[in-house]
Amino acid sequence: MAEKITDSPMLNQDYNTLYMAVGTKPTLTIRKAPDNRGSIAGWLPEGSECEVLADNIGGWVLIRYRGCTGFVYGSYLKPVNVIQ
């Protein structure tokens, strides 16, 4: 059973900011739960941009990438630009 999350997710206040996967050669696993043992929802290739929907989930962030929504570890993402 997955560990209970005690931190409250924080909705991304910077919702117009895209994030890029870094240091994930070749891909970062997108999980269905904020846990290394969570089922795989998809993959985020290094250098790909995604939208962060929520953060502060024990270091994990909720993202959306090409219609796939799931969790990745936040240290593998960096902000890239702001959509006008």
pTM: 0.76
Tokens of 49: 């941009």
pLDDT digits 0-9 by tens, 4-52: 333 444 555 555 578 999 988 899 999 999 999 999 999 999 999 999 9
The Cα–Cα gap between 41 and 71 comes to 9
Domain spans in the chain, listed from the N-terminal domain onward: 10-82
| Cβ–Cβ < 8 Å for 41, 30 | yes
pLDDT digits 0-9 by tens, 47-76: 999 999 998 789 999 999 999 999 999 999
- Per DSSP, 84 falls in state -
| Cβ–Cβ < 8 Å for 77, 65 | no
Q: Class of 10-82 per CATH?
A: mainly beta
